[in-house]
């Protein structure tokens, strides 16, 4: 287990942008009838998702979120010292999207920018990276963008994934502040499980070929191209109901966290069955574990900040909140963090 | 006996299969019992029998017969 503490980093604000287009799971064509669709909705907790239009990328969703965040914070773009773009749906394989965003957002040419190609654990990993860079105070303001257009690399005829995944972009604004309480992290990785979630073609191991672009029904109800994301549901499920709750318990024990003082556990919005297993394993009451999956689905690395924006905005704006968060998924990689948020700017949800 | 009928009813409801084939249902072999069906099934079993299955039991629950054995650990008698 990798444990470490980051000091002097304040979460100053959170903003999110989602597409206006709503896809209702009850209307999906591969369900036999409304009864079957409603069963899936009940067990996953996901009723609908936001789906971006053709040609809209993760960075296109990120820009309005960042612009709203900067405006609400009163930050000029020229005061941002670093930007990290966490995404597995980047604009191009090269260059990194963070470079393109530096120009689109009007950031300085000495701003430190970097892509982090992480999935569902990405907000926690990203927070640790940005925090590590900023905690000495040489960089004062940073932006952690977590953005994903999951509907672009998952097949619409894959019934195991289409009901679950949606599109969203978020930005978490971070500031150097020597007065704030530390962030405490725990991380794990299990690369032996990399096939649980992977995209077989389109990288250097298996470059895109004509053959890889042909759709194949790999099992009943699951149609994919070689360039589509494979999500082996049971592999992910077996990982998710065991390892993240174990890590959270280890984080709690390692840092002697009093669960009674925790206001919120912010979970990656995988699906309700998984997340409820984690909540109950920690014996936390429902009001301390907010969800947004019912309206936005699993938006991978954007899901923890999205639940902050849509689930508990008033609390984050008005009081001191002792929080735990846990992100888990592709890799397999998972990370947990203890942190505090107080009087943050939480922007109204942007829809484009 | 009542619990067996109840479990058959849950299999029928969660997986959309006929009651006649419920007792021979096997994960990945019975149509509808894929990963999505498994989440539905586990969700409905927990509700129907008012139990909270441990992760290993959820993963081991690969057939109707195995499921009966697992549920007996939670005090469900067949």
pLDDT of residue A308: 98
Quick check: A224 pLDDT over 70?
A: yes
User: pLDDT tens digits for A281-291?
Assistant: 999 999 999 99
Report the b/e string of A290-320 with b at 16+ CB within 10 A.
bbbbebbbbbbbbbbbbbbbbbbbebbeeee
Residue A345 tokens read as: 């700017």
Give the strand pairing for A141-149 and A167-176: antiparallel
Quick check: A268 pLDDT over 80?
A: yes
User: pLDDT: is A107 or B30 the higher one?
Assistant: A107
User: pLDDT tens digits for A2-19?
Assistant: 899 999 999 999 999 999
CATH C-level class of A6-176: alpha beta
User: pLDDT tens digits for A72-109?
Assistant: 999 999 999 999 999 999 999 999 999 999 999 999 99
Overall average pLDDT of the B6-21 stretch: 92
Mutate: best of A234, A278, A298, partner B, most B CBs <10 A: A234
CATH C-level class of B2-73: mainly alpha
Cβ distance of A43 and B43 shorter than 8 Å: yes
Nearest CA in chain A to B37: A40
Quick check: A251 pLDDT over 80?
A: yes
* Residues A145, A290, A131, A107, Cα dihedral to 10°: 20
Quick check: A132 pLDDT over 70?
A: yes
pLDDT of residue A234: 86
Report domain extents, chain B. 2-73
Contacts A293 to B, Cβ<8 Å: none
pLDDT of residue A138: 96
Contacts A234 to B, Cβ<8 Å: 35, 38, 59
Cβ distance of A40 and B16 shorter than 8 Å: no
In 3D, which of A244, A248, A264 has the Cα closest to residue A329? A244
Contacts B16 to A, Cβ<8 Å: 32, 35-36
CA A68 – CA A16 distance, rounded (Å): 9
- Selecting from A35, A221, A273 the residue whose C-beta is nearest the C-beta of B39 gives A273
Q: Does domain A183-344 have CATH number 3.40.47.10?
A: yes
What ipTM does this complex have? 0.81
Cβ distance of A238 and B34 shorter than 8 Å: no
User: B4 to chain A nearest CA, in Å?
Assistant: 22
Domain ranges in chain A with CATH number 3.40.47.10: 6-176, 183-344
Mutate: best of A28, A35, A39, partner B, most B CBs <10 A: A39
Q: Across the A/B interface, how many CB contacts are shorter than 8 Å?
A: 54
Quick check: B1 pLDDT over 70?
A: no
DSSP 8-state symbol, A154: S
Overall average pLDDT of the A195-221 stretch: 93
Overall average pLDDT of the A216-245 stretch: 91
The residues with which A183 forms a beta bridge, in sequence order, are A6
User: pLDDT tens digits for A141-184?
Assistant: 999 999 999 999 999 999 889 999 999 999 999 999 999 999 99
């Amino acid at each position: 287990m990798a444990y470490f503490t980051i000091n002097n980093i304040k979460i100053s604000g959170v903003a999110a942008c989602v597409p206006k287009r709503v896809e209702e799971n009850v209307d999906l064509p591969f369900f036999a009838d409304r009864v079957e669709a409603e069963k899936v909705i009940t067990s996953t907790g996901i009723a609908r998702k936001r789906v971006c239009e053709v040609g809209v990328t993760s960075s296109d969703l990120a820009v309005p979120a960042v612009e709203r965040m900067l405006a609400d914070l009163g930050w000029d773009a020229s005061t941002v010292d670093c930007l990290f773009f966490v995404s597995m749906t980047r604009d191009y394989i090269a260059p990194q999207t963070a470079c393109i965003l530096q120009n689109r957002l009007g950031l300085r040419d000495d701003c430190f920018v970097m892509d982090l190609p992480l999935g569902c654990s990405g907000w926690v990993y990203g927070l640790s990276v940005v925090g590590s860079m900023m905690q000495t105070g040489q960089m004062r303001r940073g932006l952690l963008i977590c953005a994903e257009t999951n509907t672009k690399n998952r097949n619409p005829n894959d019934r195991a994934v289409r009901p679950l995944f949606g599109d969203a972009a978020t930005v978490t604004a971070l500031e150097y502040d020597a007065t704030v309480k530390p962030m405490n992290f725990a991380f794990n990785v299990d690369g032996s499980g990399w096939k649980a979630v992977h995209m077989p073609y389109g990288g250097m191991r298996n470059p895109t070929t004509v053959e890889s672009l042909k759709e194949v029904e790999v099992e009943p109800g699951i149609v994919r191209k070689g360039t589509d994301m494979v999500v082996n549901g049971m592999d992910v499920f077996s990982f998710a109901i065991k390892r993240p709750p174990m890590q959270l318990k280890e984080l709690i024990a390692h840092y002697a966290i009093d669960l009674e003082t925790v206001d919120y556990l912010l979970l990656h919005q995988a699906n309700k069955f998984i997340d409820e297993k984690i909540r109950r394993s920690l014996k936390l009451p429902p009001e301390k574990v907010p969800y947004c999956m019912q309206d936005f689905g699993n938006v991978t690395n954007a899901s923890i900040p999205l639940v902050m924006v849509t689930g508990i905005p008033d609390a984050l704006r008005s009081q001191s909140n002792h929080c735990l968060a846990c992100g888990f998924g592709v890799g397999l990689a998972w990370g947990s963090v203890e942190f505090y948020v107080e009087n943050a700017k939480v922007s109204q949800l942007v829809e484009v | 006996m009542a619990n067996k009928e109840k479990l058959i009813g849950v299999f029928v409801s969660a997986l959309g299969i006929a009651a006649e084939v419920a007792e021979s249902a096997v994960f990945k072999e019975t149509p509808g019992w894929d990963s999505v069906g498994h989440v539905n099934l586990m969700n409905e079993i927990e509700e129907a029998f008012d139990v909270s299955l441990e992760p290993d039991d959820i993963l081991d629950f690969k057939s109707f017969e195995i499921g009966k054995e697992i549920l007996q650990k939670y005090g469900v008698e067949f």
